[in-house]
Structure 1
Amino acid sequence: MDASAAIAVTDLRKTYGTTTALDGVSFEVGQGEFFGLLGPNGAGKTTTLEIVEGLRRPDSGQALMFGAPSWPPNPDLMRRIGVQSQTPAFFERLTAAEQIHAFAKLYRVPAVRADEMLAAVGLSDKARTRVEQLSGGQAQRLAIACALVHDPQLVFLDEPTAGLDPQARRNLWDLLRDINAAGRTVVLTTHYMDEAEALCHRVAIIDHGRILECGPPETLIQKADAVTRVIAQAALVDAGELRRRFPEATVTEDDTRIVIASPDPAPVLAELAARGALRDLVVKGATLEDAYLTLTGREYRA
């Protein structure tokens, strides 16, 4: 393990009764890295992060932050991290300014720092607005500002864009990029694969308490042999003929279009060109979501 890493996790194991939550989890996060921890519900993400953050004791293995064990809880480490939970926990009946000023007092940082962070997340005009009157995106930005008010080196973000509309999500992406560009290490959990692909330098995919793959999103996509989707007009080509011609591909159809999902799209495109079926053709390359589903499966997780 790299002693200079922001996080170094070695063979973490944790059980709850007969349930194995973590079964030998190991990974590293470099300083200044934007790192994603991805997995289905119940995969072990929350338990992993709670151990790394010093909130939960592992049965065995070790989690280090900046070279120091995170368990037992270390006040010096706590001052170097910021945590934004999926559901922001604010003090009741306070305005946005009062909220972040309360966090500033808890961390013993000057009030001016709270005002600066409120401005940094674009909420100065909402300073006198009570939290319950903020939109979902505004509340998430305030939660991130509260997590950053003491200027931590390492920031944990738990599904920061969950439930936000597309515009609010993209605006928050810009904020998260700025947080990382300022030199902070960011650890993100999210169920939005496009978000992880756009923001993260590397991701780890965890399932059943084990890390399945870890690396840059583009590397995971290539390793998983995820498919490319070619979408053609149904009126221009016969789906049955395509199935016979390309048995390794998955061909689906409806009244208006045919979708050919193939790990090798070049012969499919050549065939469609030969048949004059290129009008309004759409080609969708493999994504991190394809790689994720290849690794974790497609069955529903409660």
Structure 2
Amino acid sequence: MTAVIEVRDLSKSFGSKNALNGVNFAIGEGEIFGFLGPSGSGKTTTINILTGQLLPDKGESLIFGKSSQDLAPEDLKRIGLVSEDSGFYEKMTLEKNLLFFSKFYGVKTVDVDAILERVGLLDSKKKVAEKLSTGMKQRMLLARALINRPSVLFLDEPTSGLDPSTSRGIHELLLELKAQGTSIFLTTHDMHEATLLCDHLALLNQGSLVEEGNPQALIQKYNTDKAVEVAYKDGHKERVPFEELSSLGHVEEILTIHSCEPTLEDIFIQLTGGKLNV
């Protein structure tokens, strides 16, 4: 696998606070990489270093095989970024915002309607940006990041605060972009979202990686209690070990059978003793 993004022994401090402590990972072409952890764990700092907005104290970060501190304008045109600090022009319509940024990126031909349709905003293209809801602004920023057809897309909490329907639409779009070969760096503290989307992920806590791997592989790695929960029609439930399933009686009385495997959040709490939604 050819790495589109590489991070080697990356460290960064702000005063006495260690934001990153010797972080290492690599992201391949067409891969969705989840960088997961609670607020303040170092996720945004990593994005800022990777995109050349911040210098590391130690280590290096590379995009397209080049140091992220030495990216040329042509390299930057291959990168898309959505973060809480992404700007837009409040007094312009949604459509004019996208047309402006297409000129800014030097994109000669851009089908604004097609991009807006992909993020579910085509019917709102004449709305002034400041009048958009939080969810619509989030989708506008994603649309803006897609104008230059990026090879690498950085998404910093892209579905934070969005309703489930809007989040689902963004998930579908990200999987479509992945299929087209876009490498996606996704930061989130939503472990369910990461389980659905990510090919590979890293769990970050207080600036250090505590675990990484494929989501399902990690779940099975920490699935030490091999059992299912059986719910019966009369309302009672029981926990049944895998090896006893073949001898399970009264099958006609069973309502549901659910796996008792841990979630990614369970694993994170097991590793750190902390919670993610902070």
* Cα distance, 1:177–1:20 mapped onto 2, change above 3 Å: same
After superposing the two structures, state which structure 1 stretch, 218-227 or 108-117, moved more.
108-117
Alpha-carbon distance in 2 for matches of 1:120, 1:163: 20
- Among all aligned residue pairs of Structure 1 and Structure 2, give the percentage whose two residues are the same amino acid: 39
Matches within 5 A, 1:79-90: 79-86=77-84, 88-90=86-88
SS in 1 for 2:116: helix
Give the aligned partner of residue 242 of structure 1. none
| Counterpart pick for 1:294 among 256, 265, 270 | 270
Can you list the C-alpha shifts for 1:49-104, whole angstroms capped at 9, x where unaligned?
11111111000100000100001454332111100113653211211101111111
Q: 1:283 aligns with which of 250, 253, 258?
A: 258
CA separation of 1:170/1:201 partners in 2, compared to 1, >3 Å: closer, same or farther? same
Deviation at 1:281? 4.4
- Counterpart Cα distance in 1 of 2:199 and 2:148: 25
Per the alignment, in what secondary structure is the counterpart of residue 110 of structure 2? helix
Per the TM alignment, residue 114 of structure 1 is displaced from its structure 2 partner at its CA by: 3.4
Structure 2 gaps of 5+ residues are: none
Contact 2:38 2:276 in 1 (8 A): no
CA gap 1:179/1:189 in 2 versus in 1, 3 angstroms:
same
Displacement of 1:39 in angstroms is 0.9
Change (3 A) 1:82 1:279: same
2:255 is paired with a residue whose SS is coil
**2:183 paired residue among 182, 185, 196:** 185
Change in 2 beyond 3 A, CA 1:226/1:105: farther
Q: Quote how far apart the aligned CAs of 1:165 are.
A: 1.2
Bigger drift between 105-114 and 150-159 goes to 105-114
Q: How many residues align?
A: 276
Change (3 A) 1:139 1:72: same
- Structure with larger Rg: 1
Q: Deviations over 1:184-225 (max 9, x none)?
A: 111111121111111111111111211122211011112223
Establish whether residue 167 from structure 1 lines up as the match of residue 142 from structure 2. no
The residue type paired with residue 73 of structure 2 is P
Q: Which moved more, 1:144-153 or 1:217-226?
A: 217-226
Change (3 A) 1:71 1:164: same
Task: After superposition, give the CA deviation of every residue in 1:256-299 in whole Å (9 maximum; x if it has no partner).
Answer: 76685xxx83368689x569996434524423232233223245
Normalised by the size of structure 1, how large is the TM-score? 0.80
The answer to whether structure 1 residue 49 and structure 2 residue 47 are counterparts is: yes
* Letter of the structure 2 residue corresponding to residue 140 of structure 1: Q
Once the two structures are TM-superposed, the CA of residue 144 in structure 1 deviates from its matched residue by 0.8
Segments of 5+ residues of structure 1 without an aligned counterpart are 237-255
Query: For structure 1, which segment, 109-118 or 59-68, has the greater mean C-alpha deviation from structure 2 after superposition?
Result: 109-118
Alpha-carbon RMSD:
2.8
Aligned CA distance change for structure 1 residues 300 and 160 (closer, same or farther; 3 Å): closer
Match for residue 98 of structure 2? Answer: 100
After superposition, residues 218-233 of structure 1 pair within 5 angstroms as 218-225=216-223, 230=229, 232=231
Counterpart AA for 2:94: A
Residue type of the partner of 2:164?
Answer: P
**Is the contact between residue 218 and residue 288 of structure 1 (CA under 8 Å) also seen in structure 2?**
no
8 Å CA contact retained: 1:13, 1:22: yes
Q: Report if the CA contact (8 A) 1:226-1:294 is conserved.
A: no
CA distance in 2, matches of 1:27, 1:13: 13
Asked if the contact 1:88–1:139 (Cα under 8 Å) also holds between the matched residues in 2, the reply is: no
User: Out of 193, 204, 207, which is 1:206 matched to?
Assistant: 204
Cα distance in 1 for partners of 2:123, 2:75 equals 33
- Contact map agreement 1:7 1:63 (CA 8 A) in 2: yes
Deviation (angstroms), 1:12: 0.5
Deviations along 1:174-193, one digit per CA (max 9) or x if unpaired, are 11111212211111111211
Residue 124 of structure 1 corresponds to: 122
Q: 1:268 to 1:160 in 2, by over 3 A?
A: farther
- The answer to whether the 8 Å contact 2:203/2:268 transfers is yes
Matched AA of 1:71: Q
Q: Higher RCO, 1 or 2 (CA under 8 Å, sep at least 6)?
A: 2
Q: Which moved more, 1:286-295 or 1:139-148?
A: 286-295
